[in-house]
Structure 1
Amino acid sequence: MTINTESDVSTGTGASADEGLDAAPFAGDTSPFGAAASQASTFEPLDEIHDRILWLSTSIIHHANRVRPNRSGLKVGGHQASCASIASIMTALWFHELRAEDRVSIKPHASPVWHAINYLFGELDEADMTSLRAFGGLQSYPSRTKDPVPADYSTGSVGIGATAPIWGSIARRYVDSSLKPIGLGRQYSLVGDAELDEGAVWEAVIDPDVKHLGEIVWIVDLNRQSLDRVIPDIAAGRIEAMFDAAGWQVITVKFGRLLENLFAGPGGPELRQRILTMSNPEYQRLLRCSAAELRERLPGDGEDAAILRDLVGGLDDATLTDAIRNLGGHDIEALLDAFARIDDSKPTAVIAYTIKGFGLPSSGHPQNHSALISDEEYAALARRSNQDTQAPWTRFDQDSAAGRIIDASAKRLARPEFPPVAETELPRDLERAHKGTSSSQAALGRVLMDLSRQSPETARRVVTVSPDVSSTTNLGGWVNKVGVWSSEAGRNWFADDAETILQWNESAQGQHMELGIAETNLVGLLGELGATWSRWGEPLFPIGVMYDPFVNRALEPWMFGMYAGGQSILVGTPSGVSLAPEGGAHQSITTPSTGMEVPGLVTYEPAFAQDVEWTLLHSLTRLGRPDGESAYLRLSTRAVDQSLADVPTDSVARQRRREQVIAGGFRLRATKRPRVQLVGMGAMMTEVLAAADRLDAMGVDADVVCVTSPGLLYRALRASQGSRRSGSAAVAAGPATGPGSEWILDQVFPAERAVPMVTVLDGHPHTLSFLATINKVDHVALGVSSFGQSGDIDDVYRYHGIDTDSIVYAALDASRS
Structure 2
Amino acid sequence: MNAPISRCTPYDSENSSTKMSLAKIEDRVLWLSTAMIHHANRVRPNPTGLKVGGHQASCASMVSIMTSLWFEQLRPGDRVSVKPHAAPVLHAINYLLGELDESHLTTLRAFGGLQSYPSRSKDPDSVDYSTGSVGIGATAPIWGAIARRYVDTTIGSAGGVGLNRSAGSALGRQYSLVGDAELDEGAVWEAILDTSVAELGEIVWIVDLNRQSLDRVVPNIAAGRLEAMFDAAGWQVITVKFGALLESLFNRPGGAQLRTRILDMSNPEYQRLLRCSAEEIRLRLPGDEAGADAVSSLIVALDDDTLIQAIRNLGGHDLDALRAAYAQIDDTRPTVIIAYTIKGRGLPTQGHPQNHSSLLTVEQYEQFADELGMDAENPWGVFEENSVEGQTCRDTAARLAREKFEFTTPPAVPADIGRTPTGTSTTQGALGRTLLDLTRQAPEAAKRVVTVSPDVSSSTNLAGWLNKVGVWSPNERRNWFADDAETIMHWREKPTGQHMELGIAETNLVGLMGELGATWSRWGQALFPIGVMYDPFVERALEPWSYGIYAGGQSILVGTPSGVTLAAEGGAHQSIKTPSIGLEQPGCVSYEPAFAIDTEWTLLSGIGRLGRPDGSSSYLRLSTRPVDQTLAEVPTDPAARERRRRQVVAGAYMLRRRDKPAITLVGMGAMITETLAASDRLADQGIAADVVCVTSPGLLFEAVRARDGLADGPSWILGQVFPAERAAPMVTVLDGHPHTLAFLAGINSVPGVALGVSNFGQVGTLDDLYRYHGIDTDSIVSAALDLVGRVFHRQNHES
TM-score range, shorter chain: over 0.9
Aligned partner (choices 692, 702, 709) of residue 679 of structure 2: 692
SS in 1 for 2:354: coil
- 1:175-194 aligned within 5 A: 175-182=151-158, 183=161, 184-194=171-181
Question: Quick one: distance in 2 between partners of 1:438 and 1:422?
Answer: 35
Q: Is structure 2 residue 784 aligned with structure 1 residue 791?
A: no
CA-to-aligned-CA distance 1:32-88 (integer Å, 9 cap, x gap)? xxxxx9995542211111000000000000000000000211110000000000100
Q: Is structure 2 residue 375 aligned with structure 1 residue 388?
A: yes
Match of 2:795 in 1: none
Contact between 1:398 and 1:407, CA under 8 Å: does it hold in 2? Answer: no
Match of 1:270 in 2: 257
Q: Which amino acid in the other structure matches residue 309 of structure 1? A: S
Question: Quick one: distance in 1 between partners of 2:430 and 2:569?
Answer: 22
Q: Which amino acid in the other structure matches residue 153 of structure 1? A: Y
- TM-superposed deviation, 1:672: 0.6
Match of 1:371 in 2: 358
Aligned partner (choices 195, 198, 215) of residue 228 of structure 1: 215
Aligned partner (choices 127, 132, 135) of residue 111 of structure 2: 135
Q: Which amino acid in the other structure matches residue 122 of structure 1? A: G
Q: Which amino acid in the other structure matches residue 789 of structure 1? A: Q
Match of 2:788 in 1: 815
Match of 1:8 in 2: none
Aligned partner (choices 304, 313, 325) of residue 338 of structure 1: 325
- TM-superposed deviation, 1:274: 1.1
- 1:657-736 aligned within 5 A: 657-724=644-711
- TM-superposed deviation, 1:424: 3.6
Question: Quick one: distance in 2 between partners of 1:426 and 1:536?
Answer: 21
Match of 1:643 in 2: 630
CA-to-aligned-CA distance 1:261-306 (integer Å, 9 cap, x gap)? 0111121111111111111111111110111111121122223222
- TM-superposed deviation, 1:723: 0.5
Match of 1:243 in 2: 230
Sequence identity (%):
69
Contact between 1:79 and 1:370, CA under 8 Å: does it hold in 2? Answer: yes
Q: Is structure 2 residue 564 aligned with structure 1 residue 582?
A: no
Match of 2:740 in 1: 767
- TM-superposed deviation, 1:150: 3.6
- 1:526-541 aligned within 5 A: 526-541=513-528
- Give the count of matched residue pairs: 767
CA-to-aligned-CA distance 1:356-388 (integer Å, 9 cap, x gap)? 000000001110000000111111111111110
SS in 1 for 2:405: coil
Aligned partner (choices 341, 346, 349) of residue 354 of structure 1: 341
Q: Structure 1 stretch 455-464 or stretch 593-602: which is displaced more? A: 593-602
- TM-superposed deviation, 1:676: 0.5
Question: Quick one: distance in 1 between partners of 2:498 and 2:43?
Answer: 54
Q: Which amino acid in the other structure matches residue 133 of structure 1? A: R
CA-to-aligned-CA distance 1:183-237 (integer Å, 9 cap, x gap)? 2110000000000000000000000110110000000000000100011111221
Match of 2:85 in 1: 109
Contact between 1:88 and 1:330, CA under 8 Å: does it hold in 2? Answer: yes
Question: Quick one: distance in 2 between partners of 1:343 and 1:382?
Answer: 40
Match of 2:146 in 1: 170
Q: Structure 1 stretch 379-388 or stretch 521-530: which is displaced more? A: 379-388
Aligned partner (choices 497, 503, 506) of residue 484 of structure 2: 497
SS in 2 for 1:723: coil
- TM-superposed deviation, 1:307: 2.0
Aligned partner (choices 720, 723, 735) of residue 747 of structure 1: 720
- TM-superposed deviation, 1:425: 2.7
Q: TM-score, normalising length from structure 2?
A: 0.95
Match of 1:195 in 2: 182
Contact between 2:410 and 2:445, CA under 8 Å: does it hold in 1? Answer: no
Match of 1:92 in 2: 68
Aligned partner (choices 754, 775, 779) of residue 802 of structure 1: 775
Question: Quick one: distance in 1 between partners of 2:79 and 2:234?
Answer: 22
- TM-superposed deviation, 1:400: 1.9
Question: Quick one: distance in 1 between partners of 2:265 and 2:572?
Answer: 48
SS in 1 for 2:61: helix
- 1:393-412 aligned within 5 A: 393-412=380-399
Match of 1:756 in 2: 729
- TM-superposed deviation, 1:423: 4.5
- 1:31-50 aligned within 5 A: 42-50=18-26
- TM-superposed deviation, 1:308: 1.8
- TM-superposed deviation, 1:396: 1.1
CA-to-aligned-CA distance 1:501-521 (integer Å, 9 cap, x gap)? 000111111100000000000
The change in CA–CA distance for 1:793 and 1:220 in structure 2 (over 3 A counts) is same
Structure 2 unaligned segments of length 5 or more: list them. Answer: 1-12, 162-170, 791-799
Question: Quick one: distance in 2 between partners of 1:248 and 1:633?
Answer: 37
- TM-superposed deviation, 1:422: 3.4
Q: Which amino acid in the other structure matches residue 742 of structure 2? A: S
Aligned partner (choices 239, 256, 260) of residue 247 of structure 2: 260
Question: Quick one: distance in 1 between partners of 2:36 and 2:18?
Answer: 29
CA-to-aligned-CA distance 1:719-746 (integer Å, 9 cap, x gap)? 011103xxxxxx6xxxxxxx2x211001
SS in 2 for 1:668: strand
SS in 1 for 2:349: coil
Q: Which amino acid in the other structure matches residue 707 of structure 1? A: V
Contact between 2:592 and 2:622, CA under 8 Å: does it hold in 1? Answer: yes
Q: Is structure 2 residue 266 aligned with structure 1 residue 290?
A: no
- TM-superposed deviation, 1:124: 1.2
SS in 2 for 1:667: strand
SS in 1 for 2:323: helix
Question: Quick one: distance in 2 between partners of 1:321 and 1:282?
Answer: 15
SS in 2 for 1:816: helix
Q: Which amino acid in the other structure matches residue 189 of structure 1? A: S
Contact between 1:483 and 1:506, CA under 8 Å: does it hold in 2? Answer: yes
Question: Quick one: distance in 1 between partners of 2:515 and 2:459?
Answer: 25
Question: Quick one: distance in 1 between partners of 2:14 and 2:420?
Answer: 79
SS in 2 for 1:706: strand
Contact between 1:568 and 1:623, CA under 8 Å: does it hold in 2? Answer: yes
CA-to-aligned-CA distance 1:657-697 (integer Å, 9 cap, x gap)? 00100000000011111111000000000000011011111
Question: Quick one: distance in 1 between partners of 2:472 and 2:286?
Answer: 59
Question: Quick one: distance in 1 between partners of 2:222 and 2:24?
Answer: 33
Aligned partner (choices 20, 41, 48) of residue 72 of structure 1: 48
Contact between 2:671 and 2:733, CA under 8 Å: does it hold in 1? Answer: yes
CA-to-aligned-CA distance 1:463-494 (integer Å, 9 cap, x gap)? 00001111110000000000111111111111
Contact between 2:94 and 2:126, CA under 8 Å: does it hold in 1? Answer: no
- 1:602-621 aligned within 5 A: 602-621=589-608
Question: Quick one: distance in 2 between partners of 1:308 and 1:488?
Answer: 54
Question: Quick one: distance in 1 between partners of 2:701 and 2:217?
Answer: 48
Question: Quick one: distance in 2 between partners of 1:245 and 1:40?
Answer: 40
Contact between 1:663 and 1:713, CA under 8 Å: does it hold in 2? Answer: yes
SS in 2 for 1:265: coil
SS in 1 for 2:204: strand
Q: Which amino acid in the other structure matches residue 172 of structure 2? A: G
Q: Which amino acid in the other structure matches residue 443 of structure 2? A: P
Q: Is structure 2 residue 580 aligned with structure 1 residue 593?
A: yes
- TM-superposed deviation, 1:605: 0.2
Contact between 1:103 and 1:186, CA under 8 Å: does it hold in 2? Answer: yes
Question: Quick one: distance in 2 between partners of 1:496 and 1:265?
Answer: 68
SS in 2 for 1:434: coil
Match of 1:7 in 2: none
Question: Quick one: distance in 2 between partners of 1:432 and 1:170?
Answer: 36
Question: Quick one: distance in 2 between partners of 1:267 and 1:382?
Answer: 38
Q: TM-score, normalising length from structure 1?
A: 0.93
